Amino acid sequence: MAYTKELSFSYRNPTRIVFGEGSALNVVWEMEALGVTRALIVTDEGLMKTDLPERIREALGDKCVGIFGEVQPDSGVHIVQRGVEVAQELGADILVSLGGGSSIDTAKAMTIVLKGGGKLADYLTKPIEGPLMPHIAIPTTAGTGSEVTWIAVVKDHEQGVKHVFLSDQIFPKLAILDPQMTVGLPPLVTASTGMDAMCHAVEGIASVIGEPIADALNLHAIRLIMEYLPRCVEQGDDLLARGQQMIAATMAGVGFGNSLLGIVHAMAHVVGGRHGIPHGIANGILLPYGMRYNLDTCPDRYALVAEAMAVREKGMSEKEAATSAVDAIWEFTKRMGHPQRLRDVGVPKEDLEACAAGTLTEPNMFTNPRPGELNEVLKVLQEAW
């Protein structure tokens, strides 16, 4: 897994990033800089019960044409379609997404249909041609990294499948990272969304298409998460910790957007999809088990993770360091009160075989350092159960 002289890659990171306490309230200046005047806020039903959408609407003043607040967890093609209709009715010329991955991905998907017409599913086979309507993302969680990726995941609830759209066109123009947007997150959501970011960073390091720039981002994200995520969980209004965790999630987002992921996300998408387990929780449970699956294939990469986690002791071999990283992840989730077993979140043991079979064909497996073997993947899931 070390770099070779044959290394070649293309690095993506076109989204401007603005960070700072209160920066979300400056969104109107950012809009003006983009030369647009009619913003539609895209947010989720949960956030509509808080004052955040209204605060952003006030900040936008007469530049806000409305709020589309119908996004649900695991956003759907029907929600995207509805959002498109609302944006067209109101004559929006920019989308401002406010929320976690679901809201941001919904806005990305809306921009695709707003430009090209038809239905979102058409673009599974049809090219996405830009430029698309500009999109400013204001995350309210610190985990998915969607604010800086070229990826949108939208579920077709009728068919029970998740569609993944990959396109350089759907990068948000701007990501505004305001730690004040995340202070209201409850401890478990803070921990699990934070573990999603940890998974992005660790899986990015082990990916078969990893490269030095993504590695740098992923490794520093791990350092920040180790230091600040437990503080966010223990004291939700610690704005320094909230801010650093947001930066870490965004760094890991740029990192994994370039390196892509591996078996942990493959398993998490399948298990989570079949049993309605939130993405971060599934990843947080499965990370140490997935790392063990890869341990003998890329001990050098996990040794780097151990160094970033500050658990590699002097004299440890690569294999020992890699093992210490796996153990440290387990201790880390335990310390934060994060679930550690699939049985804790209601996955029935008799479904593990189907989950293992689904994992083998999940696209994230293609960049995992060790190929999928059915019996071995099943063993991983049984250990995690």
Q: Minimum Å distance from CB 50 to Fe ion?
A: 23
Q: Which tokens go with 360?
A: 């083998």
Stretch in the footprint of Fe ion (CB under 5 A) among 88-96, 189-197, 244-252, 284-292: 189-197
Q: Minimum Å distance from CB 196 to Fe ion?
A: 4
Stretch in the footprint of Fe ion (CB under 5 A) among 54-62, 70-78, 152-160, 194-202: 194-202
Assess 178 for contact with Fe ion (CB under 5 A). no
Q: How far is CA 384 from CA 162, 197, 282, 289, in A?
A: 24, 20, 10, 6
Place of tokens 């899931």: 381
Residue closer to Fe ion, measured from CB, 39 or 260: 260
Stretch in the footprint of Fe ion (CB under 5 A) among 17-25, 35-43, 191-199, 377-385: 191-199
Residues of 162-201 as b/e, b for ≥16 C-beta within 10 angstroms?
bbebebebbbbbbbbbbbbbbbebeebbbbbbbbbbbbbb
Q: How many residues bind Fe ion (CB under 5 A)?
A: 1
Assess 74 for contact with Fe ion (CB under 5 A). no
Assess 203 for contact with Fe ion (CB under 5 A). no
Q: Minimum Å distance from CB 173 to Fe ion?
A: 22
Assess 93 for contact with Fe ion (CB under 5 A). no
Assess 196 for contact with Fe ion (CB under 5 A). yes
Assess 147 for contact with Fe ion (CB under 5 A). no
Pairing type for strands 39-44 and 16-19 reads unpaired
**174: β partners:** 16, 136
Q: Which tokens go with 159?
A: 């068919």
Is residue 148 within 8 A of residue 250, CB to CB? The reply is yes
Q: Which residue is nearest to Fe ion (CB)?
A: 196
Give Cβ neighbours of residue 320 (< 8 Å, ≥ 6 apart): none
Residues 217-276 that bind Fe ion (CB under 5 A): none
Distance CA(343)–CA(162), nearest Å, equals 24
Residue closer to Fe ion, measured from CB, 30 or 203: 203
Assess 105 for contact with Fe ion (CB under 5 A). no
Residue closer to Fe ion, measured from CB, 196 or 215: 196
Q: Minimum Å distance from CB 331 to Fe ion?
A: 21
Q: Minimum Å distance from CB 57 to Fe ion?
A: 29
Residues 329-348 that bind Fe ion (CB under 5 A): none
Distance CA(167)–CA(281), nearest Å, equals 27
Distance CA(205)–CA(211), nearest Å, equals 8
**18: β partners:** 176
Chain residues binding Fe ion by CB under 5 A are 196
